[in-house]
C-alpha cells in the first residue's frame, strides 16, 4: 500500500458524504498504484485530498454556503461512476448539435461526459489558434507548464468543493487559444449515470495568450435516471490584452444537483465578459472567483438566475481587485416562482494598491409566487484609496402598473407577464453577443414562467 492510500484522519466529524469520498479516494489510489508515481498531478491531488479531509465539507454555517442547502448532499454515500457510459457516436453527434448555438457556426464543439472529454483527434489539432486536449493526453512537460494554473485552490470554505475536484477529477479539458477566434467554442458537459449517488468532477482550463480573443460556451445537461452530483471547476486564464466572452449555462433536469466553481485570472488590460445562466437543475450553486491581478484588467459578469418549481439557485461571486485601474461590473437578475429559492451572495474586495479601481454590483430580484424566496447580499471590502465602488440591490414583485398597462391594451395575462419578466431580464440578455445562444436561453425561459393563476393568488 502506498503512503497516500492510508486512511486520512479528518479533524471535524466526517459526514457520510466525506467518509464515502475518502473511500473513493482510497479506491482510486489503490487502483492507480504504481502509475500514480508517474503522474505529475498526483502530488497535487494528494495534497488537495488531505486538505479536504482535514477541513471537512462546508455547511450552512459557512458564510458563502448559507443559502445552499447541502444537508441531503452531505448525508449521501457517494459511489464511483464507472467509465464506459460515453454515448454512442450518434448520441454524441445529436448532443453536439443540440447545444445552445444550434446549427450556427462554431470554432469547435467538445463533448465532455462526466468530466471526460470525447475528442476526435483530427478536429482538435487542425487549428493553430485553438488547441484542445485532454489533460490525460498531455505530456509531462506540458502538464508541468500548466501545473501552476491548475494549482491548488485555497483553504477557504468557498473553494472547498473545488479542492475536492482537484483531488478527484478523472480527466479534464485543456483549451489554449492563441489568436482571434471568430466563432464560439462550444463545450457541452453531459452528466449521466445509471446508478444513484454518483459524483463527478468535470474540469476545464481555458487559456488565452496575449492578445487572443474568443467566445466560449459551456453548457451543462444531464441524461439518465440518476444524474450524478456535478462538482465542476472551470478556470479561465486571460493573458495581456486578451478578450474572452464566457458562458456557463445550466440546463440540467430537476433531479440534478450541481456545484460549479469558476475562477478567472486576468492579466493587464484583459477583458472578460462572463455570463452565468441557471435555467435548470434541482440545486445549482455557481461560484465565481475573479482576480484582477494587473492594471487595466476588466471584468463584466452577468447572472441570470431562474428559480422554478423547487429549484435552489445560489450564486456566489467573489471579485478581488489586486491592481490599480481595474474594473469590475456585476449584474444579476433573479426570478423565483413556485417554492424556489434564489440567492445572490457577492463580495468585491479592493486590495491595497488597487488605486482607481472601479466596481459596480447591481442586483434585482423578482418574486413570482408567494412561496418563493430571493436573498441578496452584496458586500464590499475596500483596502485602497481613491476607488469608486457602488452596489444596489432590490427585490420585489411584478410591477402592477406595468401589468395593468399591458392588459389595458388587450394582451392576455400570460403574455403580459411573460413580456414583463423578459423585460426584467433584458439587461442581462441583451448583453449576450452570441445571438443564437441568447435566443436559446430565451426559449428555455418561457416554460419556466409562472402560471397566471399562481400570480393571481399572490396578488
Partner 1 sequence: MLIISNLSARVAGKDILKGVNLVVNPGEVHAIMGPNGSGKSTLAQVLAGREDYEVTGGSVSFEGRDLLGLPAEERARAGLFLGFQYPVEIPGVNNVYLLKAALNAKRKAAGQPEVDAYDFLALIKQKMKLMQMSESFLSRGVNEGFSGGEKKRNEILQMLVLEPRLAILDETDSGLDIDALKVVSQGVNSLRDPQRAVVLVTHYQRLLDYIVPDFVHVLVGGRILKSGDRTLALELERRGYDWVQESNAA
CA gap 307, 284 in Å, rounded: 10
CB 402, min distance to partner 1, A: 5
Q: Give yes or no for residue 415 binding partner 1 (CB under 8 A).
A: yes
Q: Give yes or no for residue 122 binding partner 1 (CB under 8 A).
A: no
Residue placing its CB nearer to partner 1 in the complex, 49 or 420: 420
CB 394, min distance to partner 1, A: 15
The answer to whether the CB of 166 falls within 8 A of the CB of 159 is no
The Cα angle at residue 141 between residues 139 and 146, in degrees rounded to 5 = 95
Q: What is the DSSP letter of 45?
A: H
CA gap 82, 23 in Å, rounded: 15
Q: Give yes or no for residue 424 binding partner 1 (CB under 8 A).
A: yes
Question: Which residue has 453548457 as its cell numbers?
Answer: 219
CB 398, min distance to partner 1, A: 11
Residue placing its CB nearer to partner 1 in the complex, 5 or 407: 407
Q: Give yes or no for residue 420 binding partner 1 (CB under 8 A).
A: yes
CA gap 124, 183 in Å, rounded: 15
The answer to whether the CB of 240 falls within 8 A of the CB of 210 is yes
- Picking from 229, 260, 232, 52, the residue whose alpha carbon sits closest to that of residue 156 is 52
CB 450, min distance to partner 1, A: 17
Question: Which residue has 445572490 as its cell numbers?
Answer: 344
Q: Give yes or no for residue 422 binding partner 1 (CB under 8 A).
A: yes
Q: Give yes or no for residue 443 binding partner 1 (CB under 8 A).
A: no
Q: Give yes or no for residue 423 binding partner 1 (CB under 8 A).
A: yes
Q: Give yes or no for residue 427 binding partner 1 (CB under 8 A).
A: yes
Stretch that binds partner 1, among 15-23, 322-330, 350-358, 418-426 (CB under 8 A): 418-426
CB 358, min distance to partner 1, A: 24
Number of residues located near partner 1, criterion CB under 8 A: 26
Contacts of 4 (CB under 8 A, 6+ apart): 29, 36, 42, 46, 49
CB 279, min distance to partner 1, A: 18
x/- string (CB under 8 A) for partner 1, residues 374-413?
A: -------------------------xxxx-xxxxxxxxxx
Residue placing its CB nearer to partner 1 in the complex, 223 or 302: 302
In the three-class reduction of DSSP (H, G, I as helix; E, B as strand; rest coil), residue 166 is classed as: helix
Contacts of 200 (CB under 8 A, 6+ apart): 81, 114, 115, 170, 191, 193, 228, 229, 230, 231
Residue placing its CB nearer to partner 1 in the complex, 27 or 405: 405
The answer to whether the CB of 218 falls within 8 A of the CB of 187 is yes
Question: Which residue has 484582477 as its cell numbers?
Answer: 292
CB 424, min distance to partner 1, A: 7
Q: Give yes or no for residue 458 binding partner 1 (CB under 8 A).
A: no
Residue placing its CB nearer to partner 1 in the complex, 48 or 416: 416
Stretch that binds partner 1, among 76-84, 145-153, 243-251, 414-422 (CB under 8 A): 414-422
**Cα dist from 397 to 361, 367, 458, whole Å:** 21, 5, 10
CB 360, min distance to partner 1, A: 18
Residue placing its CB nearer to partner 1 in the complex, 210 or 452: 452
- Sort residue 178 into left (φ over 0), alpha (ψ -120 to 50) or beta: alpha
- Interface residues with partner 1 (CB under 8 A)? 399-402, 404-413, 415-416, 419-420, 422-427, 430, 459
Amino acid at each position: 500500500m502506498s503512503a497516500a492510500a492510508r486512511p486520512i484522519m479528518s479533524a471535524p466529524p466526517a459526514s457520510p458524504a466525506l467518509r464515502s469520498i475518502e473511500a473513493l479516494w482510497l479506491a482510486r489510489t489503490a487502483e492507480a498504484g504504481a502509475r500514480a508515481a508517474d503522474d505529475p498531478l498526483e502530488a497535487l491531488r494528494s495534497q488537495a485530498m488531505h486538505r479536504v479531509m482535514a477541513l471537512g465539507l462546508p455547511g450552512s454555517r459557512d458564510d458563502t454556503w448559507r443559502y445552499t442547502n447541502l444537508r441531503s448532499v452531505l448525508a449521501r454515500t457517494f459511489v464511483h461512476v464507472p467509465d464506459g457510459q460515453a454515448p454512442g457516436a450518434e448520441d454524441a453527434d445529436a448532443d453536439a448539435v443540440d447545444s445552445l448555438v444550434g446549427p450556427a457556426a462554431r470554432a469547435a464543439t467538445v463533448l465532455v461526459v462526466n468530466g471526460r472529454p470525447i475528442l476526435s483527434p483530427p478536429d482538435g489539432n487542425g487549428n493553430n489558434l485553438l488547441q484542445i486536449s485532454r489533460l490525460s493526453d498531455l505530456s509531462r512537460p506540458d502538464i508541468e507548464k500548466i501545473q501552476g494554473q491548475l494549482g491548488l485552490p485555497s483553504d477557504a470554505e468557498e473553494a472547498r468543493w473545488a479542492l475536492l475536484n482537484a483531488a478527484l477529477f478523472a480527466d479534464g479539458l485543456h483549451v489554449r487559444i492563441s489568436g482571434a477566434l471568430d466563432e464560439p467554442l462550444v463545450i457541452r458537459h453531459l452528466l449521466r449515470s445509471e446508478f444513484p449517488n454518483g459524483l463527478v468532477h468535470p474540469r476545464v482550463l481555458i487559456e488565452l495568450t496575449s492578445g487572443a480573443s474568443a467566445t466560449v460556451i459551456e453548457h451543462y445537461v444531464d441524461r439518465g435516471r440518476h444524474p450524478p452530483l456535478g462538482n465542476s471547476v472551470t478556470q479561465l486564464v486571460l493573458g495581456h490584452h486578451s478578450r474572452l466572452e464566457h458562458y456557463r449555462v445550466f440546463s440540467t433536469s430537476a433531479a440534478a444537483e450541481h456545484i460549479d466553481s469558476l475562477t478567472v485570472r486576468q492579466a493587464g488590460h484583459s477583458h472578460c465578459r462572463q455570463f452565468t445562466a441557471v435555467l435548470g437543475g434541482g440545486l445549482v450553486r455557481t461560484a465565481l472567483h475573479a482576480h484582477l491581478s494587473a492594471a487595466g484588467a476588466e471584468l463584466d459578469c452577468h447572472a441570470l438566475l431562474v428559480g422554478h418549481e423547487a429549484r435552489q439557485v445560489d450564486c456566489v461571486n467573489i471579485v478581488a481587485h489586486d491592481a490599480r485601474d481595474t474594473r469590475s461590473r456585476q449584474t444579476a437578475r433573479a426570478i423565483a416562482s413556485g417554492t424556489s429559492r434564489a440567492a445572490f451572495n457577492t463580495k468585491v474586495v479592493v486590495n491595497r494598491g488597487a488605486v482607481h479601481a472601479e466596481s459596480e454590483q447591481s442586483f434585482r430580484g423578482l418574486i413570482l409566487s408567494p412561496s418563493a424566496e430571493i436573498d441578496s447580499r452584496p458586500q464590499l471590502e475596500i483596502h485602497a484609496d481613491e476607488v469608486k465602488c457602488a452596489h444596489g440591490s432590490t427585490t420585489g414583485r411584478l410591477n402592477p402598473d406595468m401589468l395593468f398597462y399591458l392588459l389595458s391594451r388587450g394582451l392576455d395575462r400570460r403574455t403580459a407577464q411573460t413580456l414583463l419578466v423578459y423585460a426584467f431580464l433584458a439587461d442581462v440578455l441583451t448583453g449576450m453577443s452570441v445571438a443564437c445562444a441568447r435566443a436559446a436561453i430565451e426559449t428555455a425561459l418561457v416554460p419556466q414562467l409562472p402560471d397566471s393563476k399562481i400570480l393571481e393568488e399572490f396578488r
